[in-house]
Structure 1
Amino acid sequence: MELSARARIRAGDPVAFGDLFDEHAQVVYRYAVRVTGDWASAEDIVSLTFLEAWRLRAKIRSEGESLRPWLLGIATNVLRNASRAARRHEAALSRMPGRDVVPDFSDELVGRLADAEELAAARTALDRLRKAEREVFTLCVWAGLNYAEAAEALGVPVGTVRSRLSRARTRLRELTDAEREPSPGGGQHISEDRANAVRSKQERHP
Protein backbone atom coordinates (compact mmCIF):
# COMPACT_ATOMS: atom_id res chain seq x y z
CA MET A 1 0.00 0.00 0.00
CA GLU A 2 1.34 3.42 -0.94
CA LEU A 3 2.33 5.59 2.01
CA SER A 4 0.56 8.90 2.51
CA ALA A 5 2.48 12.16 2.15
CA ARG A 6 2.37 12.60 5.92
CA ALA A 7 3.81 9.13 6.49
CA ARG A 8 6.55 9.73 3.93
CA ILE A 9 7.54 13.02 5.58
CA ARG A 10 7.54 11.38 9.00
CA ALA A 11 9.82 8.69 7.59
CA GLY A 12 12.25 11.33 6.32
CA ASP A 13 11.49 11.12 2.61
CA PRO A 14 13.29 14.16 1.11
CA VAL A 15 11.07 14.20 -1.99
CA ALA A 16 7.90 14.35 0.12
CA PHE A 17 9.41 17.08 2.27
CA GLY A 18 10.40 18.98 -0.86
CA ASP A 19 6.80 18.80 -2.03
CA LEU A 20 5.73 20.19 1.35
CA PHE A 21 8.12 23.09 0.90
CA ASP A 22 6.90 23.81 -2.64
CA GLU A 23 3.28 23.81 -1.48
CA HIS A 24 3.61 25.96 1.64
CA ALA A 25 6.79 28.06 1.42
CA GLN A 26 4.99 31.07 -0.02
CA VAL A 27 2.30 30.89 2.67
CA VAL A 28 4.96 30.94 5.38
CA TYR A 29 6.83 33.71 3.57
CA ARG A 30 3.78 35.99 3.27
CA TYR A 31 2.98 35.41 6.93
CA ALA A 32 6.54 36.25 7.96
CA VAL A 33 6.63 39.40 5.79
CA ARG A 34 3.48 40.73 7.39
CA VAL A 35 4.66 39.99 10.92
CA THR A 36 8.22 41.29 10.52
CA GLY A 37 7.62 43.99 7.92
CA ASP A 38 10.93 43.01 6.37
CA TRP A 39 11.34 40.97 3.18
CA ALA A 40 14.88 39.76 3.93
CA SER A 41 14.02 38.73 7.48
CA ALA A 42 11.01 36.84 6.17
CA GLU A 43 13.27 34.73 3.95
CA ASP A 44 15.31 33.78 7.02
CA ILE A 45 12.11 32.87 8.88
CA VAL A 46 11.07 30.56 6.04
CA SER A 47 14.43 28.79 6.08
CA LEU A 48 14.38 28.36 9.86
CA THR A 49 10.75 27.21 9.82
CA PHE A 50 11.42 24.38 7.38
CA LEU A 51 14.65 23.40 9.13
CA GLU A 52 12.66 23.11 12.35
CA ALA A 53 9.86 21.28 10.53
CA TRP A 54 12.37 18.69 9.31
CA ARG A 55 13.70 18.27 12.85
CA LEU A 56 10.16 17.86 14.23
CA ARG A 57 8.78 15.74 11.38
CA ALA A 58 8.26 12.71 13.64
CA LYS A 59 5.62 14.72 15.55
CA ILE A 60 3.35 15.06 12.51
CA ARG A 61 0.01 13.44 13.22
CA SER A 62 -0.92 10.52 11.02
CA GLU A 63 -4.24 12.07 9.99
CA GLY A 64 -5.37 15.54 9.04
CA GLU A 65 -6.41 17.70 6.10
CA SER A 66 -3.45 20.04 5.81
CA LEU A 67 -0.03 20.60 7.34
CA ARG A 68 -0.36 24.36 6.96
CA PRO A 69 -1.46 24.94 10.61
CA TRP A 70 1.46 22.82 11.84
CA LEU A 71 3.94 24.79 9.71
CA LEU A 72 2.52 28.16 10.74
CA GLY A 73 2.68 27.10 14.36
CA ILE A 74 6.39 26.40 13.89
CA ALA A 75 6.79 29.73 12.08
CA THR A 76 5.12 31.51 15.01
CA ASN A 77 7.64 29.99 17.42
CA VAL A 78 10.51 30.93 15.11
CA LEU A 79 9.20 34.51 14.98
CA ARG A 80 8.99 34.61 18.77
CA ASN A 81 12.61 33.50 19.05
CA ALA A 82 13.70 35.96 16.35
CA SER A 83 11.95 38.80 18.18
CA ARG A 84 13.70 37.96 21.44
CA ALA A 85 17.05 37.75 19.64
CA ALA A 86 16.43 41.14 17.99
CA ARG A 87 15.68 42.73 21.35
CA ARG A 88 18.90 41.32 22.81
CA HIS A 89 20.82 42.57 19.77
CA GLU A 90 19.35 46.08 20.07
CA ALA A 91 20.17 46.14 23.78
CA ALA A 92 23.76 45.16 23.02
CA LEU A 93 24.07 47.85 20.34
CA SER A 94 22.71 50.48 22.71
CA ARG A 95 25.64 49.79 25.05
CA MET A 96 28.23 50.30 22.31
CA PRO A 97 29.95 53.66 21.60
CA GLY A 98 28.33 55.81 18.93
CA ARG A 99 29.61 55.68 15.37
CA ASP A 100 29.00 57.39 12.05
CA VAL A 101 25.65 56.44 10.59
CA VAL A 102 25.74 54.68 7.22
CA PRO A 103 22.78 55.60 4.99
CA ASP A 104 20.21 52.82 4.77
CA PHE A 105 18.29 52.75 1.49
CA SER A 106 16.16 49.70 2.33
CA ASP A 107 13.15 51.82 3.30
CA GLU A 108 13.33 53.60 -0.04
CA LEU A 109 13.26 50.29 -1.89
CA VAL A 110 10.39 48.91 0.19
CA GLY A 111 8.48 52.13 -0.38
CA ARG A 112 8.26 51.32 -4.07
CA LEU A 113 5.87 48.48 -3.34
CA ALA A 114 2.22 49.43 -3.59
CA ASP A 115 1.24 48.02 -0.22
CA ALA A 116 4.21 49.28 1.81
CA GLU A 117 2.31 52.07 3.57
CA GLU A 118 -0.64 49.80 4.30
CA LEU A 119 1.67 47.16 5.78
CA ALA A 120 3.48 49.73 7.91
CA ALA A 121 0.21 51.19 9.20
CA ALA A 122 -1.14 47.75 10.03
CA ARG A 123 2.04 46.70 11.83
CA THR A 124 2.10 49.93 13.85
CA ALA A 125 -1.35 49.13 15.17
CA LEU A 126 -0.59 45.43 15.65
CA ASP A 127 2.54 46.21 17.67
CA ARG A 128 0.30 47.80 20.30
CA LEU A 129 -1.67 44.60 20.84
CA ARG A 130 -0.78 41.94 23.38
CA LYS A 131 1.44 39.24 21.86
CA ALA A 132 -1.20 36.49 22.21
CA GLU A 133 -3.85 38.62 20.47
CA ARG A 134 -1.41 39.69 17.75
CA GLU A 135 -0.50 36.09 16.96
CA VAL A 136 -4.14 35.01 16.67
CA PHE A 137 -4.93 38.00 14.45
CA THR A 138 -2.03 37.40 12.07
CA LEU A 139 -2.78 33.69 11.78
CA CYS A 140 -6.52 34.09 11.22
CA VAL A 141 -6.66 37.30 9.20
CA TRP A 142 -3.31 37.48 7.42
CA ALA A 143 -2.48 33.78 7.08
CA GLY A 144 -6.10 32.74 6.49
CA LEU A 145 -6.40 29.99 9.11
CA ASN A 146 -9.81 29.19 10.53
CA TYR A 147 -10.41 29.02 14.29
CA ALA A 148 -9.62 25.31 14.55
CA GLU A 149 -6.44 25.60 12.46
CA ALA A 150 -5.20 28.58 14.47
CA ALA A 151 -5.92 26.67 17.68
CA GLU A 152 -3.86 23.76 16.34
CA ALA A 153 -1.02 26.07 15.33
CA LEU A 154 -0.85 27.75 18.74
CA GLY A 155 -1.72 24.75 20.87
CA VAL A 156 -4.69 26.47 22.54
CA PRO A 157 -8.46 25.76 22.66
CA VAL A 158 -10.69 27.05 19.85
CA GLY A 159 -12.57 29.22 22.35
CA THR A 160 -9.34 30.95 23.27
CA VAL A 161 -8.71 31.77 19.61
CA ARG A 162 -12.21 33.23 19.26
CA SER A 163 -11.90 35.44 22.34
CA ARG A 164 -8.40 36.65 21.48
CA LEU A 165 -9.40 37.46 17.91
CA SER A 166 -12.45 39.35 19.13
CA ARG A 167 -10.34 41.42 21.52
CA ALA A 168 -7.75 42.06 18.78
CA ARG A 169 -10.38 43.28 16.32
CA THR A 170 -11.95 45.57 18.91
CA ARG A 171 -8.60 47.02 19.92
CA LEU A 172 -7.50 47.57 16.32
CA ARG A 173 -10.73 49.42 15.55
CA GLU A 174 -10.06 51.69 18.52
CA LEU A 175 -6.47 52.30 17.43
CA THR A 176 -7.26 53.05 13.79
CA ASP A 177 -10.17 55.32 14.79
CA ALA A 178 -7.86 57.20 17.16
CA GLU A 179 -5.24 57.66 14.45
CA ARG A 180 -7.86 59.13 12.13
CA GLU A 181 -8.65 61.92 14.61
CA PRO A 182 -6.81 65.20 13.89
CA SER A 183 -3.97 65.93 16.31
CA PRO A 184 -4.24 69.12 18.43
CA GLY A 185 -1.30 70.63 16.57
CA GLY A 186 -2.77 69.90 13.18
CA GLY A 187 0.02 67.47 12.30
CA GLN A 188 -0.12 64.68 9.81
CA HIS A 189 -2.22 61.64 10.67
CA ILE A 190 -3.11 58.41 8.97
CA SER A 191 -5.44 58.86 6.04
CA GLU A 192 -8.95 57.49 6.03
CA ASP A 193 -8.06 55.18 3.15
CA ARG A 194 -5.18 53.64 5.07
CA ALA A 195 -7.29 53.19 8.19
CA ASN A 196 -10.02 51.53 6.17
CA ALA A 197 -7.42 49.26 4.57
CA VAL A 198 -6.37 48.00 8.00
CA ARG A 199 -9.98 47.57 9.10
CA SER A 200 -10.90 45.70 5.92
CA LYS A 201 -8.22 43.14 6.71
CA GLN A 202 -9.87 42.53 10.07
CA GLU A 203 -13.25 41.77 8.50
CA ARG A 204 -11.87 39.51 5.79
CA HIS A 205 -12.07 36.47 8.08
CA PRO A 206 -15.41 35.57 9.78
Structure 2
Amino acid sequence: MKGSEVQSSGLVMTEDDTVLAERLRRGDHEAMAELFGRYADPVYNFCFRRVASWNLAEDVMSQVFLEVWRARERAVAYGGSLMPWLYTVAENVCRNAARGARRQRALAGRLQLVRLVDAEDHADGVARRLDEESRMSELLVAVDRLSRRDRQILMLVAWDGLTYLQVAQALDIPVGTVRSRLSRARKRVAALMDEGEK
Protein backbone atom coordinates (compact mmCIF):
# COMPACT_ATOMS: atom_id res chain seq x y z
CA MET A 1 0.00 0.00 0.00
CA LYS A 2 3.04 2.24 0.21
CA GLY A 3 3.63 4.65 -2.61
CA SER A 4 6.82 6.20 -3.86
CA GLU A 5 8.75 8.62 -1.68
CA VAL A 6 7.42 12.16 -1.66
CA GLN A 7 9.27 15.31 -0.54
CA SER A 8 7.02 17.59 1.55
CA SER A 9 8.13 20.48 3.79
CA GLY A 10 11.60 18.99 4.05
CA LEU A 11 10.23 15.58 5.11
CA VAL A 12 10.48 12.42 3.04
CA MET A 13 7.26 10.42 3.25
CA THR A 14 6.91 6.85 2.07
CA GLU A 15 3.13 6.75 2.26
CA ASP A 16 0.66 9.54 1.64
CA ASP A 17 -0.55 10.99 4.94
CA THR A 18 -4.14 10.61 3.76
CA VAL A 19 -3.72 6.83 3.88
CA LEU A 20 -1.91 7.11 7.21
CA ALA A 21 -4.81 9.19 8.59
CA GLU A 22 -7.29 6.54 7.48
CA ARG A 23 -5.25 3.83 9.21
CA LEU A 24 -4.97 5.98 12.32
CA ARG A 25 -8.74 6.55 12.43
CA ARG A 26 -9.19 2.77 12.35
CA GLY A 27 -6.99 2.47 15.47
CA ASP A 28 -3.99 0.94 13.70
CA HIS A 29 -1.14 0.90 16.25
CA GLU A 30 1.46 0.56 13.49
CA ALA A 31 0.10 3.73 11.88
CA MET A 32 0.62 5.53 15.18
CA ALA A 33 4.20 4.26 15.37
CA GLU A 34 4.76 5.41 11.78
CA LEU A 35 3.28 8.80 12.55
CA PHE A 36 5.57 9.21 15.55
CA GLY A 37 8.62 8.12 13.55
CA ARG A 38 7.77 10.56 10.80
CA TYR A 39 6.82 13.61 12.82
CA ALA A 40 8.39 13.41 16.31
CA ASP A 41 11.22 15.83 15.42
CA PRO A 42 9.05 18.53 13.82
CA VAL A 43 6.53 18.29 16.67
CA TYR A 44 9.37 18.52 19.22
CA ASN A 45 10.71 21.67 17.52
CA PHE A 46 7.18 23.07 17.31
CA CYS A 47 6.77 22.52 21.06
CA PHE A 48 10.11 24.14 21.90
CA ARG A 49 9.17 27.22 19.92
CA ARG A 50 6.02 27.52 22.04
CA VAL A 51 7.31 26.68 25.52
CA ALA A 52 10.94 27.93 25.21
CA SER A 53 12.35 25.00 27.20
CA TRP A 54 13.98 21.92 25.71
CA ASN A 55 13.07 19.78 28.73
CA LEU A 56 9.46 20.91 28.80
CA ALA A 57 9.29 20.45 25.01
CA GLU A 58 10.19 16.76 25.44
CA ASP A 59 7.39 16.28 27.95
CA VAL A 60 4.92 18.23 25.85
CA MET A 61 5.81 16.29 22.69
CA SER A 62 4.96 13.06 24.51
CA GLN A 63 1.66 14.55 25.63
CA VAL A 64 0.95 15.64 22.05
CA PHE A 65 1.25 12.10 20.71
CA LEU A 66 -0.87 10.74 23.57
CA GLU A 67 -3.53 13.30 22.66
CA VAL A 68 -3.16 12.41 18.96
CA TRP A 69 -3.92 8.79 19.83
CA ARG A 70 -6.92 9.81 21.92
CA ALA A 71 -8.22 12.03 19.10
CA ARG A 72 -7.29 9.65 16.26
CA GLU A 73 -10.88 9.48 14.98
CA ARG A 74 -10.51 13.14 13.99
CA ALA A 75 -7.20 12.68 12.11
CA VAL A 76 -7.29 14.60 8.84
CA ALA A 77 -4.66 15.20 6.19
CA TYR A 78 -4.82 18.65 4.59
CA GLY A 79 -3.35 18.61 1.11
CA GLY A 80 -1.98 15.12 1.75
CA SER A 81 -0.22 16.10 5.01
CA LEU A 82 -1.10 15.41 8.62
CA MET A 83 1.15 18.27 9.79
CA PRO A 84 -1.59 20.94 10.03
CA TRP A 85 -3.73 18.61 12.17
CA LEU A 86 -0.74 17.59 14.31
CA TYR A 87 0.20 21.22 14.84
CA THR A 88 -3.35 22.05 15.88
CA VAL A 89 -3.25 19.30 18.50
CA ALA A 90 0.25 20.38 19.58
CA GLU A 91 -0.84 24.02 19.85
CA ASN A 92 -3.54 23.10 22.36
CA VAL A 93 -1.21 20.89 24.41
CA CYS A 94 1.52 23.56 24.38
CA ARG A 95 -0.91 26.23 25.53
CA ASN A 96 -1.88 24.09 28.52
CA ALA A 97 1.75 23.20 29.28
CA ALA A 98 2.86 26.83 29.12
CA ARG A 99 0.07 27.76 31.52
CA GLY A 100 1.19 25.03 33.91
CA ALA A 101 4.84 26.06 33.60
CA ARG A 102 3.94 29.67 34.46
CA ARG A 103 2.11 28.48 37.57
CA GLN A 104 5.12 26.36 38.58
CA ARG A 105 7.53 29.28 38.11
CA ALA A 106 5.29 31.51 40.19
CA LEU A 107 5.16 28.91 42.95
CA ALA A 108 8.93 28.42 42.82
CA GLY A 109 9.39 32.18 43.11
CA ARG A 110 7.10 32.36 46.12
CA LEU A 111 8.91 29.50 47.80
CA GLN A 112 12.29 30.97 46.76
CA LEU A 113 13.51 27.67 45.40
CA VAL A 114 17.02 27.63 44.02
CA ARG A 115 17.97 25.29 41.23
CA LEU A 116 21.61 24.17 41.16
CA VAL A 117 23.56 22.80 38.25
CA ASP A 118 26.41 20.79 39.76
CA ALA A 119 28.09 19.18 36.79
CA GLU A 120 30.94 21.42 35.54
CA ASP A 121 31.70 19.22 32.54
CA HIS A 122 28.22 20.06 31.23
CA ALA A 123 28.60 23.80 31.88
CA ASP A 124 29.08 24.73 28.21
CA GLY A 125 26.05 22.71 27.14
CA VAL A 126 23.98 24.12 29.98
CA ALA A 127 25.06 27.68 29.11
CA ARG A 128 24.20 27.17 25.43
CA ARG A 129 20.79 25.72 26.28
CA LEU A 130 20.05 28.54 28.70
CA ASP A 131 21.07 31.10 26.07
CA GLU A 132 18.82 29.45 23.47
CA GLU A 133 15.96 29.33 25.93
CA SER A 134 16.52 32.99 26.87
CA ARG A 135 16.50 34.09 23.22
CA MET A 136 13.43 31.98 22.52
CA SER A 137 11.70 33.48 25.56
CA GLU A 138 12.38 37.01 24.27
CA LEU A 139 11.04 36.06 20.86
CA LEU A 140 7.95 34.48 22.41
CA VAL A 141 7.28 37.68 24.35
CA ALA A 142 7.30 39.59 21.05
CA VAL A 143 5.19 36.96 19.27
CA ASP A 144 2.75 36.94 22.20
CA ARG A 145 1.97 40.59 21.52
CA LEU A 146 0.53 39.68 18.10
CA SER A 147 -3.15 38.99 17.64
CA ARG A 148 -4.04 35.31 18.11
CA ARG A 149 -4.60 34.73 14.37
CA ASP A 150 -1.43 36.54 13.29
CA ARG A 151 0.59 34.63 15.90
CA GLN A 152 -0.87 31.32 14.75
CA ILE A 153 -0.14 32.01 11.08
CA LEU A 154 3.42 33.19 11.79
CA MET A 155 4.20 30.06 13.77
CA LEU A 156 2.63 27.64 11.30
CA VAL A 157 4.32 29.11 8.22
CA ALA A 158 7.61 30.60 9.41
CA TRP A 159 8.45 28.20 12.21
CA ASP A 160 6.71 24.97 11.35
CA GLY A 161 7.09 24.96 7.58
CA LEU A 162 3.49 24.59 6.48
CA THR A 163 2.62 25.98 3.09
CA TYR A 164 0.25 28.91 2.71
CA LEU A 165 -2.34 26.51 1.29
CA GLN A 166 -2.03 24.08 4.22
CA VAL A 167 -2.45 26.92 6.72
CA ALA A 168 -5.42 28.31 4.77
CA GLN A 169 -7.06 24.86 4.79
CA ALA A 170 -6.34 24.25 8.47
CA LEU A 171 -7.65 27.66 9.55
CA ASP A 172 -10.41 27.82 6.92
CA ILE A 173 -9.33 31.20 5.53
CA PRO A 174 -8.26 32.37 2.05
CA VAL A 175 -4.60 31.96 1.01
CA GLY A 176 -4.37 35.73 0.43
CA THR A 177 -5.35 36.33 4.05
CA VAL A 178 -2.57 33.98 5.16
CA ARG A 179 -0.04 35.96 3.09
CA SER A 180 -1.12 39.39 4.32
CA ARG A 181 -1.33 38.36 7.99
CA LEU A 182 2.06 36.66 7.79
CA SER A 183 3.65 39.78 6.31
CA ARG A 184 2.08 41.97 9.00
CA ALA A 185 3.14 39.57 11.76
CA ARG A 186 6.76 39.42 10.58
CA LYS A 187 7.04 43.21 10.47
CA ARG A 188 5.47 43.58 13.92
CA VAL A 189 7.77 40.97 15.52
CA ALA A 190 10.85 42.57 13.96
CA ALA A 191 9.81 45.97 15.32
CA LEU A 192 9.15 44.53 18.79
CA MET A 193 12.52 42.73 18.85
CA ASP A 194 14.26 45.98 17.83
CA GLU A 195 12.50 47.78 20.70
CA GLY A 196 13.67 45.11 23.13
CA GLU A 197 17.32 45.49 22.09
CA LYS A 198 17.31 49.26 22.76
**For the superposition of Structure 1 and Structure 2, which TM-score range results when normalised by the shorter chain?**
0.7 to 0.9
Q: Which amino acid aligns with 1:141?
A: A
- Among residues 143, 152, 160, which one is paired with 1:143 in the alignment? 160
Q: Is residue 2:97 matched to residue 1:85?
A: no
> What residue in structure 1 maps to residue 82 of structure 2?
67
> What residue in structure 1 maps to residue 27 of structure 2?
12
> What residue in structure 1 maps to residue 192 of structure 2?
175
Identical residues among aligned pairs (%): 40
Q: Is residue 2:88 matched to residue 1:102?
A: no
Rg larger in structure: 1
- Distance, in Å, in 2 between the alignment partners of 1:58 and 1:81 is 22
Q: How far has the Cα of 1:43 moved from its partner? A: 1.1
- Distance, in Å, in 2 between the alignment partners of 1:56 and 1:89 is 28
- Distance, in Å, in 1 between the alignment partners of 2:111 and 2:21 is 52
Of stretches 13-22 and 123-132 in structure 1, the one that deviates more from structure 2 is 123-132
> What residue in structure 1 maps to residue 14 of structure 2?
none
TM-score of the two chains, using structure 1 as the length reference? 0.70
> What does 1:1-206 correspond to in 2, within 5 Å?
4-61=19-76, 64-89=79-104, 93=107, 98-105=110-117, 109-113=125-129, 116=132, 118-153=135-170, 155-158=171-174, 159-181=176-198
Q: How far has the Cα of 1:79 moved from its partner? A: 1.4
Q: How far has the Cα of 1:44 moved from its partner? A: 1.6
Which runs of 5 or more residues in structure 1 are unaligned?
182-206
Offset from partner CA, 1:98-131 (integer Å, 9 cap, x none): 5453234499854324971643443342233333
Offset from partner CA, 1:12-34 (integer Å, 9 cap, x none): 11111100110001000011111
Q: Which amino acid aligns with 1:39?
A: W
Distance 1:9 1:161, change over 3 A: same
Distance 1:102 1:62, change over 3 A: closer
TM-score of the two chains, using structure 2 as the length reference? 0.72
- Distance, in Å, in 2 between the alignment partners of 1:54 and 1:6 is 11
**Matched residue SS, 2:128:** coil
- Distance, in Å, in 1 between the alignment partners of 2:83 and 2:169 is 10
- Distance, in Å, in 2 between the alignment partners of 1:100 and 1:121 is 23
- Distance, in Å, in 2 between the alignment partners of 1:63 and 1:33 is 24
Of stretches 106-115 and 79-88 in structure 1, the one that deviates more from structure 2 is 106-115
Distance 1:19 1:180, change over 3 A: same
- Distance, in Å, in 1 between the alignment partners of 2:89 and 2:111 is 37
- Distance, in Å, in 1 between the alignment partners of 2:36 and 2:51 is 21
